[in-house]
Amino acid sequence: MGWALNLRRETSPEGDAAWSPTLGWLPSASQQQEGPGEGNVVRSSSDLRGTASSRARELWPLVSLWVFLAVFSVLYSVYVYKSLLSDDPAIGHWLPSASDTNLVVSVLSQVFANSIDLLLLGVFDVLRWQLAARFPGVSAATFFQLSSSTGWVPMLFLTLNRISSGGIGLIRLLLPLLGLYFGSSLKFKAEFVYFFKQNSVGTPVFAGSGMPMNEGLLSLLPASYVAVFYAAWIPTLLDVPKYAVPFPIPGCEGSCTSSFLPGGIETARKIAPYLNMTLLRGGTFRDAETIQIRNAPGILLRFDTPGADFDFDRDKDCHTYGKHLNDTLQVCIRPVDDSLAFGWKACPSRLFQQRACLNDTSWLADPLPKTVLMTRYKQFATTAFSGRDFSIRHVQPTSEPILERVNASTYLAVLNALYNLPDSNPGTTRATSYEHDVAMTHAVAYGTTWLIRLYDDVFPDDIHTPISHVRNFLAIPHQFMAACQHFANYTVANLSGIKGAFPLPDDMQTVAVSGNSTTRLLGLDWVVWTYIAATAAVVMIAGGLVMNMLTREEPIPESSGFVEVDLAARFGADSPTLSGSGPGRAAPPSSPSTAAVAGDDALRAIRELAQPRASPGPVLSSSTFRIAKELRRRKIRIISVPSSSSEGRLAGSSRHRAFAFREGVYEGNRPGGDGGGGRTELSALERADTEITSLGSPLEGPKMKW
């Protein structure tokens, strides 16, 4: 014996036939007659199944969205890999910058995250009605947790009460985090890095500045040439991006600075029988956006401030220059381990104006605050230069720094050529006129002392700029030593090798190429691959859920697309009563006049939960938390019932538009029993949902069998 849901055919006074649902007692097999009476129709398991076409009709928006996401995720993943991981981020002829990639990735990731959220919420919303249309319905807690309108706090309370089916509550709680992950995690620790795309063949060249300091070259260069270099670059060399860029060295902090000098475009020469063919002749690099010189030796200079107790031996380490102008410059230089200490000062203004620099030499014993400690390293690197102004765009080291000692004698030779009058002997090896040498020697001597006195007298609080002048002075021979060697050795290079009195080092042979460059967005390997895998997984899971709903036996109620309209129609006044005077009993409507009451009973169990009740604690007094507990205690479920509307009156209809909330526990088999053709075992999800509604204290009264 058990309870059965029946449809009774009644005839109105006007002669119209109608089907009236009732929940009645089903006698045992021995008590049943040969078949149901003419006015009663027992619902079978086939009535609970929907057709594939009806399910497809209701799911086509979700199927379309999933197809879009599947195609989008493939293209999006390819773009993510191409832009953030591949060696060449260029897309066709377009080389996106880091800001362009950042914008596109941000927009696409938000599109994907919101689309996934929209798809999953839509799937859950349809799934709850499909579960409600099955046997034996769905628990109200699961129904609410699957609803897209349930807020985060109610979802949390339902989950904490352990009435979620299959972890649905946890999944819904994690949906915002899922959107956050897909919307922003892809750029976790992503970096803006330089990228160069070659668009020409390589040109063999001699390039770089990492060649030994050669004192012999100074005897071949006119004094005026040396003076021009120094007069032009003492104030600015290390601050000019054509020749030098800051370069970090481990341990160089505070007052310590370091600069890398790759040599510049002007000092590079094409490999040819004569080393007078620069990169800026022949048209090869005329319209180049970027010129890259690969793996060339450069000079890395480190400048430290000597300790407070450091001082020079004024007799051994210091020298005076410019005496012929009565404008004395004191220069002190001394090796310190592998470094070189260098300092200078000029005759004070009060003595210079009185032309007494040679008569009063007491100032030579004063401290030298403009002193630095220089260390030289040889550093191989690939350097990219702008094709417009030849400024250094990027330096990529290709080796570890190699420490090289600098001899004080090299700088003494430079100082002698700069500040002492040249030899007027016609037999000198200098190639320029004596008059030019004298003029430039006077000019650079006066210019150096004037610059020192300017900051001593006018800008005494600026202690950094005078030190930068010392650094520039020390860096000049390192930067222009290659140019000096080219000048002295035009004819020693040919395609068969390097010959001559001043051969260029073999490691300066390299290639120069032209191309386009930009700053790209580079992601971490594990971040990008995890993101792509998660994208594929969530799309496949969503597709599996959609496919599962398409293949399930239970029908999907027809939807209008408006949640409120669907709720009003499915829990309308024509739904039958399933909660009568006793638990699990039905009070069948006896006449049309009671239809409104019967319809109200479809929502009575839920309506009662909204009534305020006193509770001892502040958390328990929350209506949200109380309702979550009541759903568990009262074991409220949503079940599909036959509608009394004209479309749902016929037995065998598969469109279950009417639903009702009821209290109690379902037991027994599906409609039709063991021999009715329906399944007698519940699925894992159905068993879990049924067991969850069985928690709590048992209800009084008989348990119902469907």
Of the candidate ranges 5-9, 325-329, 497-501, the one whose mean pLDDT is the lowest: 5-9
Q: What is the DSSP letter of 278?
A: B
Widest Cα–Cα separation across the chain: 142
Q: What is the pLDDT of residue 216?
A: 76
Between CA 254 and CA 54 the distance in angstroms is 75
pTM of the model: 0.67
pLDDT at 690 over 60: no
Average pLDDT over residues 432-449: 84
In this predicted structure, what is the pLDDT of residue 88? 86
Peptide bond preceding 460 in cis form (omega within 30 of 0): no
Residue 55 backbone dihedrals phi, psi, to 5 degrees: -65, -40
pLDDT at 681: 41
State the pLDDT confidence band at 370, using cuts at 50, 70 and 90.
very high
Q: Measure the CA–CA gap between 696 and 692, rounded to whole angstroms.
A: 9
Helices 434-457, 465-488: axis angle to 10 degrees equals 160
Q: What is the mean pLDDT of residues 93-121?
A: 89
162: pLDDT confidence band, cut at 50, 70 and 90? low
Closest Cα partner for 692 from 167, 164, 169, 170?
A: 164
Looking at per-residue pLDDT, the higher value among 653 and 290 belongs to 290
pLDDT digits (tens, 9 = 90+) for 466-525: 999 999 999 999 988 888 887 776 644 443 444 446 778 888 999 999 999 988 989 899
How sure is the predictor about 11, in pLDDT bands with cuts at 50, 70 and 90? Answer: very low
Work out the average pLDDT over 521-544.
92
**Rg over CA atoms, the chain:** 45
Residue 375: what pLDDT?
Answer: 96
State the average pLDDT over residues 9-20: 43
622 band by pLDDT with thresholds 50, 70 and 90: low
pLDDT above 60 for 586:
no
One-character DSSP codes across 435-496: HHHHHHHHHHHHHHHHHHHHHHHT-TT--SHHHHHHHHHHHHHHHHHHHHHHHH-TTSEETT
Query: What is the average pLDDT across 291-310?
Result: 93
Please, are residues 701 and 695 in contact by the beta-carbon 8 Å criterion?
Answer: no
Angle between helices 52-84 and 98-132 (to 10 degrees): 160
> Encoding tokens for residue 464?
């950094």
Name the band, by pLDDT with cuts 50, 70 and 90, for residue 245.
Answer: very high
Could you tell me which residue, 269 or 302, shows the higher pLDDT? 302
More confident residue, 536 or 643: 536
Average pLDDT over residues 5-18: 43
Q: Count of residues for the chain? A: 706
b/e per residue 547-568 (b: at least 16 CB within 10 A)? eebeebbbbbbbbeeeeeebee
pLDDT band (50, 70, 90) for residue 383: very high
Burial of 593 (0-12, 13-18, 19+ CB in 10 A): exposed
pLDDT at 238 over 80: yes
Rounded to the nearest angstrom, the gap between the alpha carbon of residue 117 and the centroid of all alpha carbons in its chain is 20
Domain ranges of the chain: 2-188+524-700, 196-522
Cβ density class 502-539: b for 16+ within 10 Å, e for less: bebeeebbbbbbbbbbbbbbbbbeebbeebbeebeebb
Burial class (CB in 10 A: 0-12, 13-18, 19+), 573: middle
pLDDT-based confidence at 450, cuts 50/70/90? Answer: very high
d(CA 242, CA 266): 9
Is the pLDDT reported for residue 536 higher than 90? Answer: yes
Cβ-Cβ contacts under 8 Å for 684 (sequence gap 6 or more): none
Give CA–CA dist 129/558, Å, rounded.
10
Specify which residues 257 forms β-bridges with. 303
**Percentage of residues in the chain with pLDDT exceeding 70?**
72
Using the predicted structure, report yes or no on whether residue 318 has a pLDDT greater than 50: yes
Q: What is the mean pLDDT of the chain?
A: 76
CA atoms 204, 210, 211, 217: torsion sign: positive
d(CA 169, CA 152): 10
